[in-house]
Amino acid sequence: MGDFMVKVYITGHKVPDTDTICSAISYAEFLKKSGRAEAEPIRLGELNNETKFVLEHFNVDEPRLKTSMQLKVHDLELDEPTIIYRDTPVKRAIELLQEKKTLLLSITDEYHKLLGVLSLSDVTKSYMNVWDDMILHRSNTPLNNIVDVLSAKVLNEAKRELTGKMVVYAMEPDELGDRIKKGDVVIVGDRDNAQIDAIKRDVSLIIVSGGYKMKDEILEQAREKNISVLSTELNSFMAARLLPLSIPAEFVMTSGEINAVNINDTVDEVKEKLAKTRFRSYPVLDDEGKIVGNLSRYHLITGKPKKLILVDHNEKAQSIDNIDEAEIIQIIDHHRIEPVSTNSPVFFRNEPVGSTATIISKMFFEEGIRPTKEVAGLLSSAIISDTLYFRSPTTTDDDRRMLERMALYAEIEPEEYANEMFKAGTSVKGKSVSELLNMDVKEFKIMEESVRIAQIFTLDKESVLELKSEIISEMKKIREEKGNDTFVFVVTDIFDESSIVFVCGEYGVEIAGEFGEKIEENEFFAPGLLSRKKQMVPKVTDAIKKAKEN
């Protein structure tokens, strides 16, 4: 059967019924217990009343809705984002670019919402602007950034903005002129006269280099003038060299029209977008604008198709959209074979039984795996549903045996439970005509003809007959919209074991004739008709074949 340790999806057909949903959930449990895979069951549409009853009865969550196999960004193995906050020093940003071997840093606010991105080229552009000695002021650099970058000790912290330029006090005071002004950031050594002069000029920050301290009496003067004072082990040259790297990353980041992608974008959409840019890495955002990863062109090249298992169907028309973009690895079904094409051999188990759940039940026992009470309940429900509790002509001895065994694990009495389930599932109260026609519908390609067959089960056919004119009108509308040649709607009474059949489009006379009946005003009565698969589809096939031959 094969083991597969990557993410696998299990899906039934469109317009899911109880067998489709319960088989998908149960087979995921089988794969997990047999150590083959962590698989996720999915659904392709809304659940009907019967299936909702089953899941609620056994306290099982409904599968996630997924309607396409298109590869999306969240399916790729993205790089972990390297996130920094807006006030992170540029020096630390450079260190992270090197440490993480990444091309891009994401700059966020405190809620992890993306503000901009920072690449090495952004840093280089800023640092190469050697004439910008006012950059600390223009970038509103906090004192803490300077402390971090210079590994400095705080001798005095004043509540004051850095409003001037960066300058190294390298002359004697009487030769300085007006080169140092009020608000400047001054780097100075151990010269007392230079330190005192800087204080008199009312600079905003004095950085004492070379590991020297400021004398207490001079430091007191700085406090009185509300001047911050730092001491660093770096010499004046290194301090001057590193000081510009204390500016906040936010100041040099790329913002505005950021080339970001959404986690839910399709890979095709992203490829088209990236073809118009020359960047090598892109931030990935969720729907709230929060950063969740980084994407590069490498990820797009190496992205692998999703792995998919089909249960309770094998026809492309009945399956998930964009199925050709997925890798089908297994098919488990009990219907006629008109399989989707695959790129390689697959595990395909198809048996003439009344329910896909019967096959999956057999697989549990063949492997010696005991199902949980919940899974046994789901499998029991699916067998009861698809065989109409053994009234359907599709019923086999295997169905009976598997239900008997699973019912023990599920701790249910089959007949009593079946009555409850059918009662919950067959109620048409409050349903619109459109809902009735879309509750359980499948499309078939029969001799190049597109045939749509919908079926509902009810204990009250009369209430449906009262809606006949609306039903026929809606069927004509749907047939035209979907481009079907024939639309058949089967209204089945489980306990009466008969059906009323409505037909719109081609072959109505021929289909009724296959049941030995005559169609009048798009309707005929079919005693004994219970199964779409075993009875209706073969009859429709014969009707179309004979009509084409004549």
Concatenated DSSP letters for 183-212? T-EEEE-S-HHHHHHHHHTT-SEEEE-TT-
Q: Pairing state of beta strands 441-446 and 449-457?
A: antiparallel
Q: Identify the architecture of domain 142-246 in CATH.
A: 3-Layer(aba) Sandwich (3.40)
φ, ψ (nearest 5 deg) of residue 523: -145, 145
* Distances in whole angstroms, Cα of residue 475 to Cα of each of 169, 441, 456, 536: 89, 12, 14, 18
User: Which tokens in the block code for residue 185?
Assistant: 């950031």
Stretches where the chain sits below pLDDT 70 are 1-6, 129-131
Query: Residue 141: exposed, middle, or buried by beta-carbon count in 10 A (0-12, 13-18, 19+)?
Result: buried
Q: Which CATH superfamily is domain 75-128+251-301 in?
A: CBS-domain (3.10.580.10)
* Confidence (pLDDT) at 527: 95
**Domain 433-549 indexed as CATH 3.10.310.20:** yes
Q: Pairing state of beta strands 185-188 and 486-493?
A: unpaired
> Which residues sit opposite 524 in a β-bridge?
501
User: What residues does CATH 3.40.1390.20 cover in the chain?
Assistant: 142-246
Concatenated DSSP letters for 40-57? EEEESSPPPHHHHHHHHH
355-372 as b/e: b if 16+ CB within 10 A: bbbbbbbbbbeeeeeebe
User: What residues does CATH 3.90.1640.10 cover in the chain?
Assistant: 8-70+306-421
User: What residues does CATH 3.10.580.10 cover in the chain?
Assistant: 75-128+251-301
* Confidence (pLDDT) at 5: 54
Of the candidate CATH numbers 2.60.40.2550, 1.20.140.10, 3.30.565.10, 3.90.1640.10, the domain formed by 8-70+306-421 belongs to 3.90.1640.10
CA distance 165 to 271: 46
User: What residues does CATH 3.10.310.20 cover in the chain?
Assistant: 433-549
Query: Residue 166: exposed, middle, or buried by beta-carbon count in 10 A (0-12, 13-18, 19+)?
Result: buried
Query: Residue 393: exposed, middle, or buried by beta-carbon count in 10 A (0-12, 13-18, 19+)?
Result: middle
CA distance 61 to 141: 52
Helix axes 373-386, 356-366, angle to 10 degrees: 140
- The Cβ-side half-sphere exposure at 391, using a 13 Å CA radius, reads 19
φ, ψ (nearest 5 deg) of residue 528: 85, -5
φ, ψ (nearest 5 deg) of residue 336: -60, 155
* Confidence (pLDDT) at 6: 66
Segments of 44-201 assigned E as strands: 64-65, 83-85, 105-108, 114-118, 153-156, 166-168, 185-188
User: Which tokens in the block code for residue 260?
Assistant: 């970001």
Q: Is 142 helix (H, G, I), strand (E, B) or coil?
A: coil
CA distance 441 to 185: 77
* Confidence (pLDDT) at 408: 97
* Confidence (pLDDT) at 87: 92
* Confidence (pLDDT) at 404: 97
